[in-house]
Homo-oligomer: A and B are copies of this chain.
Amino acid sequence: MQQLESNGVVQVSRTKKLNLKQVAEELGVSTATVSNAFNRPDQLSAKLRERILLEAAELGYHGPNLAARTLRRGESDVIGVMLLDSLTYSLSDPVANQLLQGIAEVLVERNKHMLLLSSRIEAGQQRGAESLPDGFILYGAIDQHSFDFILKTGKPVIVVDSEYKETASVNIDNQNGAFRIAEYAIHDENEKVAILGLRLINTDRVCRLTEADLAQESQEVSQARLAGYQMAAEQKNCHIPAASMWHIPINDAELAEIAAREALTVNPRPTVLLCMSDIIALAAIRVARELNIRVPEELSITGFDDIPESARSEPPITTVCQQSIEKGRMAARLLLDGKAKEHLVLETRLVVRGSCR
């Protein structure tokens, strides 16, 4: 397909970027035909299509410009994924990460692209990336402002690990999961139970709760897990006072160690430590080892999430599998299949490993 230019140089490397129209001219066909070759194979003969695709590639044209096509069609094939907090933090969190894996799997399968968005909207910094995606997946308790903003685009939205009446959602049964693991870990009324909770109150310091805190509304997920723990404890005739509950502001190993250290040095020492994430449970195991507390003989530790690392620790962690990857898949499917009103609740599964008596 290379042709001699008038100056005799073989035209190997065109530097100029061609557009569809120019490609059509070069190939001696109409723009409609070139467009169809890329978008609607049924509108032309297989042979012509083949030729067009091939020669276009040789001209350095690899398909319609996404911006132009999006503008014209009103569809970008891009899905926006908005994560709670900063992108950087979310990427480091194993649970968010598994969710992204599930989403990515389905999007790739369906030929969609994934645009990562942060829910942190800087004051006055509208950057308008929200206008590109055909739909959104929001993870976690996105602040009302960002949520409204996304909603106002009028595009389909699926929420994960949170619930709003306006949109479809994918959740797990946090309360039931927490109930079952607590029921499993707490043997009888003689247990001393402590809880290492995640995002229970609104402060960014690690601290114990007070009875007053328990009356406050907190983030749904944590609230549900806490309720599940308490229900199980009551059923075993155990009471867990607020002073035996710790608040950890983010799911971070170091903060969790601080809380675990406090919780394991009170007197009398807990016999059961219910942790609201595996990251926290892993930290608790490390602290227990540091303090020469044998797990599980002297202390049962439970996690939540079932991240890969929880199966690899010593001892491995008894936890609640929340199927994060599957949640991602479901969210993506709901979105792509236009199920804009469903509220899915996935089952949790109790995963028994070595960290409990």
Q: Indicate if the CB atoms of B115 and A88 lie closer than 8 Å.
A: no
Can you list, as one digit per residue, whether each of A105-130 has a CB less than 8 Å from chain B (1) or not (0)? Answer: 10110010111111010001111111
Q: Contacts A67-B67, A78-B115; is A120 near B108 (CB within 8 Å)? A: yes
CB within 8 Å for A97 and B87 given contacts A64-B128, A115-B78, A312-B286:
no
Whether A60 pairs with B152 at a CB distance below 8 angstroms is yes
A111 nearest in chain B by CB position: B127
A68 touching B65 by the CB < 8 A rule? no
Residues of chain B within 8 A (CB-CB) of A120 are 108
| Contact assessment for A62 and B114 in the assembled complex, using a CB-CB cutoff below 8 Å | no
CA distance A3 to B101 in the complex (A): 47
Given A104-B88, A105-B88, A116-B116, the answer on whether A127 and B63 have CB atoms closer than 8 Å is yes
Segment of A69-77, A190-198, A264-272, A296-304 in the binding face: A69-77
Residue A17 lies at the interface, judged by CB distance under 8 Å to chain B: yes
Q: In the complex, how many angstroms separate the beta carbon of A287 from the nearest chain B beta carbon?
A: 11
Number of copies: 2
Residues of B within 8 A of A88 (CB): 101, 104-105, 108
Given contacts A87-B104, A88-B108, contact A128 B78 (CB under 8 A): no
Given A127-B77, A129-B78; A65-B60 close (CB under 8 Å) = no
Size category of the binding interface on chain A: 35 or more
Q: With A65-B131, A105-B88, A108-B87 in contact, is A113–B114 under 8 Å at CB?
A: no
Closest chain B CB from A94 CB (angstroms): 9
A77 CB to nearest B CB, Å: 7
- Contact of B111 with A113 in the complex, beta carbons under 8 Å: no
How many Å from the CB of A197 to the closest CB on chain B? 21
Q: Is A92 an interface residue (CB 8 A)?
A: yes
- Residues from chain B with Cβ under 8 Å of A128 in the complex: 62-66, 69
Q: Determine the residue in chain B with the shortest Cβ distance to A118.
A: B108
A55 and B313 CA atoms in complex are apart in Å by 56
Q: Is A100 an interface residue (CB 8 A)?
A: yes
A314 to B282, CA, bound (A): 12
Cα distance A127–B104 when bound, in Å?
Answer: 16
Those 5 A-B pairs whose CB atoms lie nearest each other, nearest first:
A67-B70, A63-B128, A87-B104, A67-B71, A66-B132
User: Which A residues form the contact surface with B (CB < 8 A)?
Assistant: 15, 17, 38, 53, 60, 62-71, 76-78, 86-88, 91-92, 97-98, 100-101, 104-105, 107-108, 111, 113-118, 120, 124-132, 149, 152-154, 253, 282, 286, 289, 308-309, 312-314
